[in-house]
Chain A
Amino acid sequence: MSVVTNFPSKKTGGANGAPVAGSRLVVEQVGKNFLGPDGGAVSAIGSVSLDVAPGEFLAIVGPSGCGKSTLLQVIAGLMMPSSGKVRLGDQDVTGEPAHMVYLFQQYSKSLLPWMTVANNVMFAFSHRLKLSGAAAQARCRDYLAMVGLADFGNHYPWQLSGGMQQRVAIARALAAEPRVLLMDEPFSSVDALTRMDLHALILDLWSQKRFTAVLVTHDVDEAIFLADRVAVLTHRPATISEVIETKLPRPRHSIETRESPAFLALRHRLLKYLLARNDGGAHG
């Protein structure tokens, strides 16, 4: 059994809400090099180590182009690291692990336009679970209802607004019932109000389902609002310079939490830190 540290304060885990034991996510000194234009190796990630407890919500913030997405793709098994390794539970990640799902930034590119919303959602699980047609439909309806799109199963993604499309992508990711949900700036291509709406939605679903969440973002407010811990990445080659526990009470509220002194203090600290780095300032 893994020791659960910093476990979220709001525990609503029911029958399907219990955190899955053995799904601790460990990133051990992961480095990633790419082939540069001159044929030499360019280091995207220096050496990153992370330890994410089951059911924890971790945010990784860093400046644009610092290798955040690369790190997340390595964790997801979509890319092999050049050094170090990723472990989920007691298994090394060498391909796409069965219990990990990746939520992409661009819903317009990850939703399949030739499939209805319902078929997009079923794409997440129908090949793994040999469900009857009716059972698959029911599961699909459940997840669409969770994101408030119960009536949109027969629509095509491109018939929906951007926010609705990202809701479909969220429903699809969760319909796979992952132990770990990796999110690659999933709220950055919708407008500000929709983004706050989706933040509340993802927190609600997370508290119901108790998956481990790893969010990559450049939005400091978003990181603090959602996460238990915020890891700060440096410029390329990325390393973790700081990990901050937010310790904000849950459940969190869209307006109140963002106005609380504790939130503002964290925001101040993180922004100061990130902006100093952008000026090419001293390394902490």
Chain B
Amino acid sequence: MASGRDRATAVVLGIIVPLAGLVVLEIASRSGWVNPTFLPPPTTILATFWGIIASGGFAAPLAQTLLLLFTGYGIGCVAAIALGILMGSSGPVFNLFEPLTELLRPLPKPALLPALILFLGLGARMEITIVALGCFFPVLINTIQGVRAVEPTMINTARTFGHGTMAIWRRILLPASAPYILAGMRISLGLGLILVVTAEMIAGSGGLGDSILSAQRTFLVKESYAWLVVLALLGLLLTWLFTVVERRLAFWNAPPIQ
């Protein structure tokens, strides 16, 4: 089939640019165009990266980052979905919280770190809190949108068959708004990763962010870049995983073309 060949072509095309970039960096570093102390050749970085992987040294920082990320992400998403459902379905609740959320939503969340450190210190509680705060808003906005966008005909259909309020929530409103909620959760996952790494750099108490910054501060530049590779791969993996989950949970949203 042509589509298989098209996909293969797309993959090859997609690899060309990053590969060319790596080759340029390799030449630039080895020829001395850029200071190899600041930017070691990519092959050296890859060897160091491989060392971190093979020794199992990646496990502890990665596990810590993932634990903080998913705890904060989970808290933020659950709170946002709960409030979003209330705000999306009730005018008074929406009017009650809308000014506050509109004030806090555009605020760059790292700006809250100094205040959070005052209250929560430099540990996991602060890191989880900033991740939860960052993940909260995109999910909140999308949940409100999703609940409001539910087709009234679907709700009326359930009513005419005699389904009660709880059943309508469980069987109509939640699944119908799921594609919106998941889209918000996708944005939040990316934001959560940014925030957990930022917080770890500031807290300096472990995790991938701390590994990147500590290595750079102690002139382990190769290691710093190698941790960056770990982080990039983590981002890629999380995006891919989320796509798989999204396709399973909201499969009807992109029906196959007949």
Q: How big is the A interface, by class? A: 20 to 34
**Which of A96, A101, A128, A158 has the most chain B CB atoms inside 10 A of its CB?**
A96
Complex interface: chain B residues within 8 A of A123 (CB): 158, 161, 163, 171
Within 8 A of B (CB), among A84-115: 96, 98, 100-102, 104, 106, 109-110, 112-114
Q: Does A278 contact B (CB under 8 A)?
A: no
Does the CB pair A158–B162 fall under 8 Å?
A: no
A50 → chain B, closest Cβ, in Å?
19
B141-185 vs A, CB cutoff 8 Å, 1 = contact: the mask equals: 000000000010110111111110001000110011010000000
Q: Does A159 contact B (CB under 8 A)?
A: yes
Q: Count of A-B contacts with CB under 8 A?
A: 57
Q: Does B252 contact A (CB under 8 A)?
A: yes
Within 8 A of B (CB), among A59-99: 73, 76, 78, 96, 98
Does the CB pair A127–B160 fall under 8 Å?
A: no
Q: Does B108 contact A (CB under 8 A)?
A: no
| Nearest-CB residue, chain A, relative to B249 | A114
Does the CB pair A76–B160 fall under 8 Å?
A: yes
Identify B154's interface contact among A76, A102, A110, A128, CB under 8 A: A110
Complex: how many Å from CA A3 to CA B163? 33
Q: Does A176 contact B (CB under 8 A)?
A: yes
Complex: how many Å from CA A108 to CA B44? 57
Identify B159's interface contact among A78, A114, A128, CB under 8 A: A78
A109-135 vs B, CB cutoff 8 Å, 1 = contact: the mask equals: 110111000000001110110000000
| Nearest-CB residue, chain A, relative to B160 | A102
Complex interface: chain B residues within 8 A of A156 (CB): 252, 255
Within 8 A of A (CB), among B67-92: none
A199 → chain B, closest Cβ, in Å?
22
Does the CB pair B154–A109 fall under 8 Å?
A: yes
Identify A102's interface contact among B157, B167, B255, CB under 8 A: B157
Complex: how many Å from CA A76 to CA B161? 11
Does the CB pair A98–B156 fall under 8 Å?
A: no
Complex interface: chain A residues within 8 A of B159 (CB): 78, 96
Within 8 A of B (CB), among A169-194: 176
Known: A104-B156, A156-B252, A158-B255. A112 touches B172 (CB 8 A): yes
Complex: how many Å from CA A111 to CA B158? 10
Complex interface: chain B residues within 8 A of A176 (CB): 161
Known: A156-B252, A159-B255. A109 touches B161 (CB 8 A): no
Complex: how many Å from CA A144 to CA B151? 25
Within 8 A of B (CB), among A184-234: none
Identify B175's interface contact among A78, A98, A112, CB under 8 A: A112
**Which of B161, B250, B255, B258 has the most chain A CB atoms inside 10 A of its CB?**
B161
Known: A158-B252, A159-B255. A110 touches B163 (CB 8 A): no
Does the CB pair A104–B255 fall under 8 Å?
A: no
Does the CB pair A102–B156 fall under 8 Å?
A: yes
| Nearest-CB residue, chain A, relative to B256 | A159
**Which of A102, A114, A123, A158 has the most chain B CB atoms inside 10 A of its CB?**
A114
Complex: how many Å from CA A86 to CA B8? 64
Does the CB pair B162–A98 fall under 8 Å?
A: yes
Complex interface: chain A residues within 8 A of B161 (CB): 101, 123-125, 127, 176
For this complex, 26 residue pairs linking A to B, each with C-beta atoms less than 8 Å apart, are A73-B156, A76-B160, A78-B160, A96-B159, A96-B160, A96-B162, A102-B160, A104-B153, A104-B157, A106-B153, A109-B151, A109-B153, A110-B153, A110-B154, A110-B156, A112-B157, A112-B171, A112-B172, A114-B250, A123-B163, A123-B171, A125-B161, A127-B167, A156-B255, A159-B255, A176-B161
Besides A101-B161, A109-B154, A159-B255, 11 new A-B residue pairs in contact (Cβ under 8 A), listed by A number: A78-B160, A96-B162, A104-B157, A110-B157, A114-B250, A114-B251, A123-B161, A123-B163, A127-B163, A128-B162, A176-B161
State the 9 A-B residue pairs at the shortest beta-carbon distance, nearest first. A113-B252, A109-B153, A102-B160, A158-B255, A110-B157, A114-B175, A109-B151, A124-B161, A96-B159
